[in-house]
Amino acid sequence: MPSRESFRESLRTCLAALLCCLLCAPSPLGLAQPPPQQAPPAANSGASLAQPANDANRHTRRPEYQSPEMQGDQRILQALNRFTFGPRPGDVEAVRAMGLDAWFRQQLSPSGLDETELNARLAAFPAMQWSVENLLYRMPSNAVIRQAMNGRGSIPDGPILHAVYENQIYRIDEKRQAQAEKKAEQAQNAQPGSQQNPQPGAQPGEGMNAAQPSGDSAQGQTAAADANSMNGGANAAPARQGDTSNASAASGAPVSSNTILNQLDQLSAPASQQTDAQPAAQKQPPIAQPMGAAAGQTSSADATANADPSQPLMAELMALPPGRRVARLASMQPEEFDGFIKSLRPAQRARLDADMAPGMKETVLDLENPQRTVAEELMAQRLARDVYSNAQLQEVMTDFWLNHFNVFLHKDEATPYYLVSYERDVIRPLALGKFEDLLEAVAHSPAMLLYLDNAESIGPDSLAAERAKMADFRRPNQNNVPQGLNENYGRELMELHTLGVNGGYTQADVIQVARVLTGWTVDQPQRGGGFLFAPNRHEPGSKKVMGKKIKENGEREGEELLHMLAERPATAQFLSRKLAVRFVSDDPPQSLVDRMAKSYLSSHGDISQVLLTLFRSPEFWAASDYRAKVKTPIEFVVSAARASNAQIENYQPLENALRQMGMPLYGCVPPTGYKWEASDWVSTGALVDRMNFALNLAANRLPGITVDWSADPSAAQQPSTQNDIQNAGMLADPSAGANDPAPEGPTPETEEARLEPLIVLGGVSASTRAAALQQFEVQIAQDASLIRPISAARPQSLNPQNRAKSVTALERQDQVLAGLLIGSPEFQRR
Amino acid sequence: MRMNRRFFLHNGALAVAGTAAIPSFLVRSVLAETQAAPNRRLVVIFQRGAVDGLNVVVPYREKNYYSMRPTIAIPEKQAVDLDGFFGLHPSLAAFKPLYDQGHLAIVHAAGSPDMSRSHFDAQDYMESGTPGVKGTEDGWLNRALQAEDANIALLHRCAGTCEEHTAFRALALGPDVPLTLAGKIPSIALNNVNGFTIAGRGPAPSPAASAFEAMYADTGDQLFHAAGDETFEAVKMLRAANPAQYLPANGAEYPNSEFGNGMKQIAQLLKANLGVEAAFTDVGGWDTHHAQGGVNGQLANRLGDFSASIAAFWRDLGDDAENVTLVTMSEFGRTAHENGTGGTDHGHANAMFVLGGRVNGGKVYGKWPGLSNEQLNQGRDLALTTDYRAVLAEVLTHTLGAENLEKVFPNAGIDPSRFLRLV
């Protein structure tokens, strides 16, 4: 990637220089005027780029022709702001060079785009390419583990997977034991005096009930599933000893390391082409026993330097080459492995797999916690695409449809697994295609069928229901599982997916739709099965939906229904408005919505056509909408990462930020999805979170995420002549930089002028700039040493090699400025 | 530093950052008012997703209840009896002492008269306080605070607002301001009290925080200007109140759940004398279409967390509880019949809880419409006999002192003479 990297950098610096010059022109800061030859033919557009249309405070120099539409580069920025997750440095130039129309067309059919960089990043997540079935087998859910424990499923023989399963069995046992103990303790405490206790809060069983929902991720559904499985907690406890010894009998047998390595190779197959480590590892002799004479290897320096005397195991592991390290981890007893992993500090844990190929890293995570690994990689790959994909519109639309057809990550234990396929196989490939295809694919997707309960819905007069009634009759006390209709999907299909709540349907229609869709279910959801139409669950007879008769026709009834819903004018209106709210404004003009709806109907729901209509509509280019949409958290977080050209090794800080800001990925519980209007996302708490995120991102305080604000990142430490030339035009007052390390170094003003056009395309207001600078100068005047403590404050990092270098005063200054710009009011809009 | 339209004042206690002299007439009027209505603290909890009221407050004497719910009904023996007809779900056992002490009242068959079964619409209607009317931009609780202002202005014969409020007057525990609190009166939303600080938690604002403050104060962007105002005031107040090490009082133990933590932080902020008058939080996970369970299971777990959190809140407040009123609501109830998948679908009327030091508790209020087939709404749900707005209106008149109920609930036709007299 180096050539690509440097290309981007040169683009970035060119852009920086150009935009700086343009910006300086109307600036009140008294910076140098741009050389005349720098003024491009599109001088007007340059000026307007620097002057947000809705900024009252700014000293303005308007073009003589007052147009209600955006002009020149404003149009480019508008397109980038709305159809991407935010411009990266250099994007404006790239679009200008190829032409806005051509760029948009390319975005509508992105298959030919070069995704080398993205693909390299996605290679970190091999498991995300697997089938759901394979994923559930190799990274088992709790349900799969419980089946293995009950004897209803089997534990794989291969040593790595065997260890994965055994570790999970151990974990579940530990949890059950802890719960049983807690229960017993509470039962004991609750006995005496509970009747007389007048104080609230001391109710017997209260804590017990409460503890369950707060379990894993505090989401009711998962917890419920967990709790259900824990019904036999008290019984399970005594059996634990046996289980564990069983486990040790199975995994404790000496395992040939070659077998492990073969297994490992198999497990990480998709990544094996990218790594040299693997073949090398395979040639290694069988694993040496603890503390072999492995010193002298490349990793040994690391191992000895960082060895914690209390953890000889860590030293031993670090002395092994990566492949054999994985094998050693897999050969540990569950208890030993659990204790070891828990004893690691974050930095140690990071070092454990820092030199491993992606498939091996994944294996270590799998050994730790397969369920978390799946959910974690799902989120990470999504963010990687949002930040790095060149097919930005496709990713934005993928986000749009994932929200439109919302599925909540913690609906049940299988959901994270099905979501991998849902996003990859259903949503993304169809995000710019025909709506009806998308609707069909969603209706057939196990993720949706399970989320909105249609998988369980059974026709009241179907064969399956009849049989269940007979069973009830024969064995009335068996508490048989109820068999009947579930309206959930039927309702949301019309209200949220197609017609909209005022789309002209009634409660009777909801029931009819639910009947039509009976039998649409999932084949063995615990094992990752696919769509299944079960004729014996399907409600017999014809149905009538919104006045239209649907003749009895099994699975085809549902297809007829979906076709009908996709073609309804109400659907065209509903979808067009929702798209317009996302791309244009919180309250889009009806004229625009009508034009889009018309385009939808005439193209039979071609989403690309509808977007093209939007792109060509004057309403989209209304000057009043320039940088007017408030960014939702996902848009803010991703646009910040893109604007700062962040190099992301670890996506968790971004996921956490989204959670904190109230927009966790795949985390919307109700089927409504998140709203896209400003009112939902502007609040005190949100602002605090955004400002802190901005400062942390810009100052490299998010572990595993690196940003570099130096003018020329490759020569960050010593400004080159090239740098000086680039800065020369902006050095209005060299004496202002008295506190800087380099005698002729840049001043806060010049740095601000350099960073602003990189981060906030279109610029910030004079008052925002002044606030950033003034405060900055106050800080320097008050205490020049303020710069020092922060640089040393947080040395811990997931990738130490990135963080080892100390931060110079100039870099620190850039970090604060950049953080202030990302947290500025201007950056909160797009 | 900038001193703007607010002073930080509550119950005569002063927590001012910047300390400008406060006009004495203002102090007087605030004191006068707080003495007149010292219990102006209202906590609103929204159970998003439509909780199944019939399994929350169980009409265990209704035969049809059991025939309609063959697998999920709460057996009479396991319901926590309230009055010989209704019983609480066993997971709500923590509510029983509050009920017995007369602090907890229940209103059954209450809710929004609108027939919508859409979560989206029904929540919006409920929160705006205008069922059936779309596009209402402010929430009932915000209008109630406006009505409170108008009322006080009238009492003290001053134009506009003669009483100043703190940034914490209207508070949402969560990432955003809900529609319930949206409107003219500023409100703040925060997720986590301890994280509510910019660029570190020092005794003084960091330079970066000051830069942000100036930036947002001077911006021409009205929306962010206003949000910035709220934010920086609230951050300063919270810094002054120093909330870092909060320990619940009276041995209260909150569940370590999102809702439990939310309730704990509301208690913390109420006790910190920051001027909180209205607090809101929500709790999800009630949309039990599938396998909702009976005595145990999905709903039971949610209810356990719900009641334990509220009971801990009550205990934590101790003597302060005297001046706090808490009310719960959910967008609609669920079908009286269990559905084909061991759950319940979207229904109509529901049960509300009202908890407070001045509540006439220990009673299930409201007219019971019955559960026989012909008594059901549209043949499928518990019928509605009490408009939730009547309950809220009564609570409001006794807490925030909002007299102009027509302003709070336009066209609701609320008649105070027909209040349930539960406060």
pLDDT in tens, A199-249: 443 333 333 333 333 333 333 343 333 333 333 333 333 333 333 333 333
**B101 has a chain A CB within 8 A of its CB:** yes
Mean pLDDT of chain B: 87
**B322 has a chain A CB within 8 A of its CB:** no
Do A679 and B182 make contact, defined as CB atoms within 8 angstroms?
yes
The structure tokens listed for B157 are 């014969």
Count the alpha carbons within 13 Å of B367 in the hemisphere toward its beta carbon: 9
Amino acid (one-letter) located at A772: A
The structure tokens listed for A353 are 């797999």
Using one digit for the tens of pLDDT, what is the confidence trace for A44-79? 333 344 344 444 444 444 444 445 889 889 999 999
* Cα separation, A131 vs A150, whole angstroms: 25
* Cα separation, A559 vs A551, whole angstroms: 12
Cβ contacts below 8 Å, chain A against chain B, sum to: 302
Amino acid (one-letter) located at B118: S
**B71 has a chain A CB within 8 A of its CB:** yes
Nearest Cα to Cα of residue B260 among B272, B248, B242: B248
Instruction: Compare B110 and A183 and report the one with higher pLDDT.
Output: B110
Residues in chain A: 830
Instruction: Compare A559 and A46 and report the one with higher pLDDT.
Output: A559
* Whole-number pLDDT of residue A185: 82
In chain B, what is the greatest distance between 2 CA atoms, to the nearest angstrom?
69
* Cα separation, A97 vs B80, whole angstroms: 73
The structure tokens listed for A295 are 């010193």
* Cα separation, A483 vs A701, whole angstroms: 54
Q: In this model, does residue B15 exceed pLDDT 50?
A: no
Question: What confidence tier does A679 reach under pLDDT thresholds 50, 70, 90?
Answer: confident
Instruction: Compare B412 and A738 and report the one with higher pLDDT.
Output: B412
* Whole-number pLDDT of residue B86: 98
Are the C-beta atoms of residues B215 and A825 closer than 8 Å to each other? yes
Minimal C-alpha gap between B101 and chain A (Å)? 8
Interface of B with A in 338-397 (CB under 8 A): 338-343, 345-346, 378
Q: What percent of chain A has pLDDT over 70?
A: 68
pLDDT average, residue stretch B405-423: 93
* Cα separation, A585 vs A594, whole angstroms: 15
Q: In this model, does residue A660 exceed pLDDT 80?
A: yes
Q: Which of B94, B253, B257 sits opposite A213 (nearest CB)?
A: B257
Q: In this model, does residue B400 exceed pLDDT 90?
A: no
Do A775 and B189 make contact, defined as CB atoms within 8 angstroms?
no
Say how many C-beta atoms besides its own lie within 10 A of residue B416's C-beta: 11
Residues whose CB falls within 8 Å of the CB of residue A95, separated by 6 or more in sequence, listed in order: A76, A79, A80, A103
**B67 has a chain A CB within 8 A of its CB:** no
Interface of B with A in 275-294 (CB under 8 A): 284-285, 287, 289-291, 293
Do B94 and A203 make contact, defined as CB atoms within 8 angstroms?
yes
> Which helix (H) or strand (E) covers residue B328, if one does?
strand B324-330
Minimal C-alpha gap between B132 and chain A (Å)? 12
Instruction: Compare A181 and A46 and report the one with higher pLDDT.
Output: A181
Are the C-beta atoms of residues A518 and A485 closer than 8 Å to each other? yes
Nearest Cα to Cα of residue A765 among B219, B229, B216: B219
**A191 has a chain B CB within 8 A of its CB:** no
**A325 has a chain B CB within 8 A of its CB:** no
Instruction: Compare A469 and A757 and report the one with higher pLDDT.
Output: A757
Beta bridge partners of B350: B110
* Whole-number pLDDT of residue A669: 87
> Which burial class, exposed, middle or buried, applies to A236 when counting CB atoms under 10 A from its CB (0-12, 13-18, 19+)?
buried
Residues in chain B: 423
Q: In this model, does residue A16 exceed pLDDT 90?
A: no
DSSP category for residue A587: S
Token look-up 């003024």 returns A39
Do B300 and A209 make contact, defined as CB atoms within 8 angstroms?
yes
**A663 has a chain B CB within 8 A of its CB:** yes
A173, A446, A524, A533, A719 from A527: Cα distances, Å: 22, 12, 6, 17, 58
**A632 has a chain B CB within 8 A of its CB:** no
Are the C-beta atoms of residues B229 and A794 closer than 8 Å to each other? no
* Cα separation, A470 vs A298, whole angstroms: 70
* Whole-number pLDDT of residue A392: 98
Amino acid (one-letter) located at A536: N
pLDDT average, residue stretch A630-659: 97
**B117 has a chain A CB within 8 A of its CB:** yes
Nearest Cα to Cα of residue B255 among A228, A142, A223: A223
Specify the range with the lowest mean pLDDT, choosing from A248-252, A352-356, A714-718. Answer: A248-252
Question: What confidence tier does B257 reach under pLDDT thresholds 50, 70, 90?
Answer: very high
Question: What confidence tier does A776 reach under pLDDT thresholds 50, 70, 90?
Answer: low
Contacts by residues A475-480 (CB-CB < 8 Å, ≥ 24 positions apart): A479/B71
Beta bridge partners of B57: B88
Q: In this model, does residue B182 exceed pLDDT 80?
A: yes
> Which burial class, exposed, middle or buried, applies to A227 when counting CB atoms under 10 A from its CB (0-12, 13-18, 19+)?
buried
Question: What confidence tier does B17 reach under pLDDT thresholds 50, 70, 90?
Answer: very low
Query: What angle is formed at CA A421 by the lines to CA A418 and CA A426, rounded to 5 degrees?
Result: 115
Beta bridge partners of B329: B46
**A687 has a chain B CB within 8 A of its CB:** yes
Q: So what's the ipTM on this one?
A: 0.76
Using one digit for the tens of pLDDT, what is the confidence trace for A589-620? 999 999 999 999 999 999 999 999 999 999 99
Do A484 and B340 make contact, defined as CB atoms within 8 angstroms?
yes
Token look-up 């955006």 returns A70
Minimal C-alpha gap between A506 and chain B (Å)? 10
Say how many C-beta atoms besides its own lie within 10 A of residue A748's C-beta: 23
A394, A728, B176 from A427: Cα distances, Å: 10, 50, 28
pLDDT average, residue stretch A635-645: 98
* Whole-number pLDDT of residue B161: 54
Are the C-beta atoms of residues A482 and B338 closer than 8 Å to each other? yes
The structure tokens listed for B193 are 């009290």
Q: In this model, does residue A380 exceed pLDDT 60?
A: yes
* Whole-number pLDDT of residue A470: 82
pLDDT average, residue stretch A624-647: 96
Are the C-beta atoms of residues A484 and A458 closer than 8 Å to each other? yes
Inter-axis angle of helices B207-218 and A766-782, to 10 degrees? 160
Question: What is the three-state SS of A364-388?
Answer: HHHHHCHHHHHHHHHHHHHHHHHHH
Do A197 and B97 make contact, defined as CB atoms within 8 angstroms?
yes
* Cα separation, A539 vs A464, whole angstroms: 10
Question: What confidence tier does A12 reach under pLDDT thresholds 50, 70, 90?
Answer: low
Beta bridge partners of A533: A520
Mean pLDDT of chain A: 78
Say how many C-beta atoms besides its own lie within 10 A of residue A32's C-beta: 18
Are the C-beta atoms of residues A803 and A797 closer than 8 Å to each other? yes
The structure tokens listed for B181 are 């609190």
Question: What confidence tier does A304 reach under pLDDT thresholds 50, 70, 90?
Answer: very low
Q: In this model, does residue A511 exceed pLDDT 70?
A: yes
Q: Which of A198, A458, A825 sits opposite B216 (nearest CB)?
A: A825
Q: Which of B101, B198, B338 sits opposite A482 (nearest CB)?
A: B338
Inter-axis angle of helices A358-368 and A257-267, to 10 degrees? 110
* Whole-number pLDDT of residue B245: 74
* Cα separation, B105 vs B354, whole angstroms: 5
Could you give the 3-state DSSP secondary structure of residue B195? helix
Using one digit for the tens of pLDDT, what is the confidence trace for B149-159? 888 777 777 66
pLDDT average, residue stretch B158-177: 80
Q: In this model, does residue A793 exceed pLDDT 60?
A: no
Q: In this model, does residue B411 exceed pLDDT 80?
A: yes
Residue A198 Cα to chain centre, angstroms: 48
Using one digit for the tens of pLDDT, what is the confidence trace for B322-351? 899 999 999 999 999 999 999 999 999 999
Find the closest chain B residue to A764 by CA distance: B219
Q: In this model, does residue A102 exceed pLDDT 90?
A: yes
Q: In this model, does residue A121 exceed pLDDT 90?
A: yes
Do A685 and B196 make contact, defined as CB atoms within 8 angstroms?
yes
Minimal C-alpha gap between A81 and chain B (Å)? 18
B242: left (phi over 0), alpha (psi -120 to 50) or beta: left
Interface of B with A in 166-185 (CB under 8 A): 167, 172, 174-177, 182
Minimal C-alpha gap between B252 and chain A (Å)? 6
Are the C-beta atoms of residues B58 and B86 closer than 8 Å to each other? yes
Q: Determine which of B66, B192, B212, B344 to mutate to test the interface with A (most A C-beta atoms within 10 Å).
A: B212
* Cα separation, B396 vs B405, whole angstroms: 9
